[in-house]
Amino acid sequence: MRIFNTTRIFCLLFACLLFYQTKLSAAGKIYHDLEEALKEPEKVKHLSLARKNLSTVPSSIAQLKNLETLILSGNELENLPNEIGSLSNLTMLNVGKNKLTALPASIGNLKNLEKLILTKNNLKELPSEIIDLSKLKLLDVSFNNVKALPDSINKLENIKYLYFSANKIKTLPEEISQLSSLQKISFWHNKISTIPSNIGDLSNLQLLNLGFNKIDVIPNSIGSLTRLNTLVLSDNKIEVLPESFYDLKSLRKVDLEYNKLTDISPKIGDLTNLVDVNLHANKLTAIPSAIGNLKKLEMLDLDVNKISSIPEEFGQLENLHDLFLHNNLLTSLPSSIGNISTLRRLDISYNKISDYETLSLPRYLDLVYLIGNKIPDEKEDAVKDLIGLNTKVYF
């Protein structure tokens, strides 16, 4: 009798659980067919018509008054119907990877929209009504042909993520610095020449990506971005880092490759949270010894510079995994490099190292690149013995 009751209770609990799971699943059901959705339009909250080879969106979609999520990505759409503006409960709209050349003005009626994804279309501009989307948190217009941001963009006061990578934008308006909720900005691969002077007003900014533009000056206000952890300014024309750059104490990743930097201040040692530093292809001639303070550093790329010596303090980089010194003017390495037990990849190819006997390297390296130095061929086996049997060495 006791076993029977236990089994009965278990079955009852299982039936209840199944009932509630079914109920929950129905409430959150994702429809993948518009005709099916239109059979019970008031119940539809999520509709995905991604990759359906659609060339148009039927105006009947307006019947889905309770729709919250609409995914139309990966189709052949050249336009959206005006009726899309009647979907007043919509919180997410994804029309990425289509052939859109314009958006209807009615998109400004989507007062509850929080995420708008427009990537990989043929848009040249956004309608002025876009600024009416006061609840918008994410706007992704990457990989289009947009030439300018909408006027009064500062009205998008709840925006957190603003992505306009791979467009044709020439100017970032000063008003962008009024978007105090912004956490991530990416305008990679545009034609921007100037960073707004008041960029430092974006007190919540964590990521700033302005790589592959035409920027030559970093404004002093950048030092006020106390929460910034990722800064990408690669492929620009920057010659000098402002003193305020070294106030970015939260910085974990900095990418400044392909610029014209000639000097790094000893204050780099104050940025103790740095994990990833890329200074590839600049005009650096030296690295300050204070770099040894960067105990969390895991990757350091100094390839293609004019560095002739490395300070002994490199040996204090106790978490360094990857060190790239390709194509510099090095004739030797400091013996302290051998103390970096975490080092796994070392590239010192195309330098002027000839005295292999002075190389003091960690025994647990995975890869060492020595191509293009002055080590005699007959000494290659001796070099391998110095490094370790399990290390792959390229001469």
Which CATH number does the domain housing residue 306 bear? 3.80.10.10
pLDDT category at 354 given cuts 50, 70, 90 is confident
In Å, what is the CA distance from 180 to each residue of 20, 27, 60? 41, 35, 39
- Range 350-373 average pLDDT: 84
H-only helix segments in the chain: 2-27, 34-39, 380-387
368 domain-assigned: yes
Q: Is the pLDDT of residue 357 over 70?
A: no
Task: Specify the DSSP class assigned to residue 149.
Answer: P
Query: Rounded to an integer, what distance in angstroms lies between the CA atom of residue 233 and that of residue 20?
Result: 51
In this structure, which amino acid lies at residue 256? L
**Could you tell me if 104 and 85 are in contact, meaning their C-beta atoms sit under 8 angstroms apart?**
yes
Task: Specify the DSSP class assigned to residue 150.
Answer: P
Q: Which residues contact 11 (CB under 8 A, 6 or more apart)?
A: none
6 domain-assigned: no
Look up residue 35 and give its two tokens: 């005709």
* Structural domain count, the chain: 1
127 domain-assigned: no
Domain that holds residue 386: 261-395
173 domain-assigned: no
Least confident of 106-110, 213-217, 316-320, 333-337: 333-337
349 domain-assigned: yes
347 domain-assigned: yes
Site of tokens 């305008």: 187
363 domain-assigned: yes
278 domain-assigned: yes
Look up residue 254 and give its two tokens: 């900095």
Query: Rounded to an integer, what distance in angstroms lies between the CA atom of residue 40 and that of residue 95?
Result: 24
Chain center to CA of 11: 49
pLDDT category at 378 given cuts 50, 70, 90 is low
Look up residue 349 and give its two tokens: 């190819």
pLDDT category at 283 given cuts 50, 70, 90 is very high
**Could you tell me if 229 and 253 are in contact, meaning their C-beta atoms sit under 8 angstroms apart?**
yes
Beta strands 115-117 and 207-209: pairing type? unpaired
**Could you tell me if 175 and 151 are in contact, meaning their C-beta atoms sit under 8 angstroms apart?**
no
Q: How confident is the model at residue 19, as a pLDDT?
A: 44
